[in-house]
Protein backbone atom coordinates (compact mmCIF):
# COMPACT_ATOMS: atom_id res chain seq x y z
CA UNK A 1 0.00 0.00 0.00
CA UNK A 2 1.04 3.48 -0.62
CA UNK A 3 1.41 5.96 2.18
CA UNK A 4 -0.92 8.92 2.55
CA UNK A 5 -0.28 11.76 0.10
CA UNK A 6 -1.36 15.15 1.44
CA UNK A 7 -1.03 16.73 -1.98
CA UNK A 8 1.29 19.50 -0.77
CA UNK A 9 3.93 18.53 -3.26
CA UNK A 10 1.44 19.09 -6.04
CA UNK A 11 0.05 22.31 -4.56
CA UNK A 12 -3.42 20.87 -4.10
CA UNK A 13 -3.85 21.22 -0.36
CA UNK A 14 -2.25 22.80 2.65
CA UNK A 15 -0.62 26.25 2.29
CA UNK A 16 -1.12 27.83 -1.13
CA UNK A 17 2.01 27.68 -3.19
CA UNK A 18 3.22 30.65 -5.20
CA UNK A 19 3.65 29.79 -8.81
CA UNK A 20 6.08 31.44 -11.20
CA UNK A 21 3.07 33.01 -12.94
CA UNK A 22 1.81 34.49 -9.68
CA UNK A 23 5.25 35.87 -8.86
CA UNK A 24 5.50 37.42 -12.35
CA UNK A 25 2.02 38.92 -11.99
CA UNK A 26 2.88 40.37 -8.57
CA UNK A 27 6.09 41.87 -10.01
CA UNK A 28 4.18 43.47 -12.90
CA UNK A 29 1.56 44.88 -10.54
CA UNK A 30 4.29 46.36 -8.29
CA UNK A 31 6.03 47.89 -11.33
CA UNK A 32 2.75 49.40 -12.58
CA UNK A 33 1.98 50.84 -9.14
CA UNK A 34 5.48 52.34 -8.87
CA UNK A 35 5.17 53.83 -12.35
CA UNK A 36 1.74 55.33 -11.53
CA UNK A 37 3.09 56.79 -8.28
CA UNK A 38 6.10 58.30 -10.09
CA UNK A 39 3.76 59.80 -12.72
CA UNK A 40 1.55 61.38 -10.04
CA UNK A 41 4.67 62.74 -8.33
CA UNK A 42 5.77 64.25 -11.66
CA UNK A 43 2.36 65.89 -12.16
CA UNK A 44 2.29 67.24 -8.60
CA UNK A 45 5.89 68.45 -8.23
CA UNK A 46 7.83 68.63 -11.50
CA UNK A 47 5.50 69.69 -14.32
CA UNK A 48 4.19 72.80 -12.48
CA UNK A 49 7.76 74.16 -12.23
CA UNK A 50 7.50 75.28 -15.87
CA UNK A 51 4.17 77.09 -15.32
CA UNK A 52 4.14 80.88 -15.81
CA UNK A 53 2.42 81.27 -12.43
CA UNK A 54 2.92 79.35 -9.20
CA UNK A 55 0.66 76.32 -8.98
CA UNK A 56 -0.14 75.62 -5.32
CA UNK A 57 0.41 72.12 -3.94
CA UNK A 58 -3.29 72.03 -3.08
CA UNK A 59 -4.38 72.44 -6.72
CA UNK A 60 -6.71 69.84 -8.15
CA UNK A 61 -5.11 67.92 -11.04
CA UNK A 62 -7.05 66.48 -13.97
CA UNK A 63 -5.34 64.62 -16.79
CA UNK A 64 -7.10 64.39 -20.17
CA UNK A 65 -6.49 62.87 -23.58
CA UNK A 66 -8.14 65.13 -26.14
CA UNK A 67 -8.51 64.67 -29.88
CA UNK A 68 -4.95 64.98 -31.09
CA UNK A 69 -3.29 66.23 -27.90
CA UNK A 70 -2.82 65.58 -24.17
CA UNK A 71 -3.72 68.04 -21.43
CA UNK A 72 -3.21 68.42 -17.69
CA UNK A 73 -5.39 70.91 -15.82
CA UNK A 74 -4.51 72.44 -12.46
CA UNK A 75 -7.31 74.32 -10.70
CA UNK A 76 -7.49 76.24 -7.44
CA UNK A 77 -9.00 79.30 -5.83
CA UNK A 78 -7.12 82.27 -4.42
CA UNK A 79 -9.08 85.20 -3.06
CA UNK A 80 -11.95 86.10 -5.39
CA UNK A 81 -10.33 84.31 -8.36
CA UNK A 82 -10.61 80.72 -9.55
CA UNK A 83 -7.56 79.72 -11.58
CA UNK A 84 -7.23 77.14 -14.32
CA UNK A 85 -3.69 76.48 -15.47
CA UNK A 86 -3.58 74.10 -18.46
CA UNK A 87 -0.49 72.35 -19.77
CA UNK A 88 -0.95 70.75 -23.18
CA UNK A 89 0.97 69.21 -26.02
CA UNK A 90 0.79 70.92 -29.42
CA UNK A 91 -2.84 71.03 -30.57
CA UNK A 92 -3.76 69.91 -34.11
CA UNK A 93 -4.36 73.46 -35.49
CA UNK A 94 -1.49 75.18 -33.70
CA UNK A 95 1.51 76.59 -35.58
CA UNK A 96 4.24 74.02 -36.25
CA UNK A 97 6.74 75.77 -33.95
CA UNK A 98 4.36 75.69 -30.98
CA UNK A 99 5.28 72.78 -28.76
CA UNK A 100 4.12 71.90 -25.28
CA UNK A 101 2.72 74.98 -23.59
CA UNK A 102 0.74 76.45 -20.74
CA UNK A 103 -2.44 78.55 -20.93
CA UNK A 104 -3.59 80.26 -17.74
CA UNK A 105 -7.12 81.47 -17.05
CA UNK A 106 -8.66 83.18 -14.08
CA UNK A 107 -12.33 83.58 -13.36
CA UNK A 108 -14.28 85.91 -11.13
CA UNK A 109 -17.64 84.20 -10.52
CA UNK A 110 -20.81 86.11 -11.24
CA UNK A 111 -22.91 87.41 -8.37
CA UNK A 112 -26.69 87.56 -8.08
CA UNK A 113 -29.48 88.31 -10.51
CA UNK A 114 -31.26 91.45 -11.58
CA UNK A 115 -29.99 95.00 -12.16
CA UNK A 116 -27.16 94.77 -9.59
CA UNK A 117 -25.88 91.40 -10.79
CA UNK A 118 -22.31 90.96 -11.96
CA UNK A 119 -21.56 88.55 -14.78
CA UNK A 120 -18.74 86.09 -14.44
CA UNK A 121 -15.49 87.36 -15.94
CA UNK A 122 -12.87 85.05 -17.45
CA UNK A 123 -9.41 86.24 -18.49
CA UNK A 124 -6.33 84.68 -20.08
CA UNK A 125 -2.74 85.49 -19.06
CA UNK A 126 -0.91 86.88 -22.12
CA UNK A 127 2.22 88.43 -20.67
CA UNK A 128 3.94 90.34 -17.92
CA UNK A 129 4.80 94.01 -17.57
CA UNK A 130 8.38 95.21 -17.10
CA UNK A 131 7.69 95.31 -13.35
CA UNK A 132 6.50 91.69 -13.40
CA UNK A 133 2.75 92.27 -13.15
CA UNK A 134 0.55 89.88 -15.10
CA UNK A 135 -1.25 91.08 -18.24
CA UNK A 136 -4.72 89.57 -18.72
CA UNK A 137 -7.09 89.69 -21.69
CA UNK A 138 -10.80 88.90 -21.76
CA UNK A 139 -11.41 85.26 -22.75
CA UNK A 140 -13.85 86.37 -25.48
CA UNK A 141 -10.99 88.26 -27.16
CA UNK A 142 -8.75 85.18 -26.78
CA UNK A 143 -11.41 82.86 -28.21
CA UNK A 144 -11.95 85.19 -31.18
CA UNK A 145 -8.22 85.05 -31.92
CA UNK A 146 -8.23 81.22 -31.70
CA UNK A 147 -11.19 81.14 -34.12
CA UNK A 148 -9.47 83.55 -36.51
CA UNK A 149 -6.28 81.48 -36.50
CA UNK A 150 -8.23 78.29 -37.25
CA UNK A 151 -9.91 80.02 -40.19
CA UNK A 152 -6.85 81.79 -41.58
CA UNK A 153 -8.01 85.33 -40.74
CA UNK A 154 -5.77 85.98 -37.73
CA UNK A 155 -4.40 89.54 -37.50
CA UNK A 156 -0.82 90.29 -36.45
CA UNK A 157 -2.08 91.55 -33.08
CA UNK A 158 -4.11 88.37 -32.52
CA UNK A 159 -1.15 86.19 -33.49
CA UNK A 160 1.12 88.01 -31.02
CA UNK A 161 -1.47 87.64 -28.26
CA UNK A 162 -1.80 83.90 -28.91
CA UNK A 163 1.98 83.48 -29.06
CA UNK A 164 2.40 85.31 -25.74
CA UNK A 165 -0.53 83.48 -24.12
CA UNK A 166 0.93 80.05 -24.92
CA UNK A 167 3.78 79.85 -22.44
CA UNK A 168 6.53 77.39 -23.36
CA UNK A 169 6.66 74.43 -21.01
61 and 142 co-located in one domain: yes
The pLDDT value recorded for residue 7 is: 46
Residue 8 has phi, psi (to 5 degrees) of -65, -35
Is 4 a member of any domain?
A: no
Chain-centre distance for alpha carbon 36:
15
Report pTM.
Answer: 0.78
Q: How wide is the angle at C-alpha 70 spanned by C-alphas 122 and 165, nearest 5°?
A: 40
42 and 55 co-located in one domain: no
b/e sequence 29-56, b meaning 16+ C-beta within 10 Å: eeeeeeeeeeeeeebeeebbeebbbebe
Count of domains in the chain?
A: 2
25 and 42 co-located in one domain: yes
70 and 41 co-located in one domain: no
d(CA 46, CA 75): 16
162 within 8 A of 150, measured Cβ to Cβ = no
126 within 8 A of 161, measured Cβ to Cβ = yes
29 and 62 co-located in one domain: no
Which pLDDT tens digits describe the chain residue by residue (169 residues)? 555 444 445 555 555 667 888 888 888 988 999 998 988 888 989 999 999 999 999 999 999 999 999 999 999 999 999 999 999 998 887 888 888 999 999 999 888 787 888 888 999 999 999 999 999 999 999 999 999 999 999 999 999 999 999 999 8
84 and 117 co-located in one domain: yes
Domain residues for the domain of 38 are 15-46
Amino acid sequence: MHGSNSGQANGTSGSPQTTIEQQEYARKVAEAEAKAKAHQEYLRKDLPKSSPIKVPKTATIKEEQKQGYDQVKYSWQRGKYKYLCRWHTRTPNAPKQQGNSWVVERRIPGIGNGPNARKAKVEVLIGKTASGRNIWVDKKVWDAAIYARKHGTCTKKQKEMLDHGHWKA
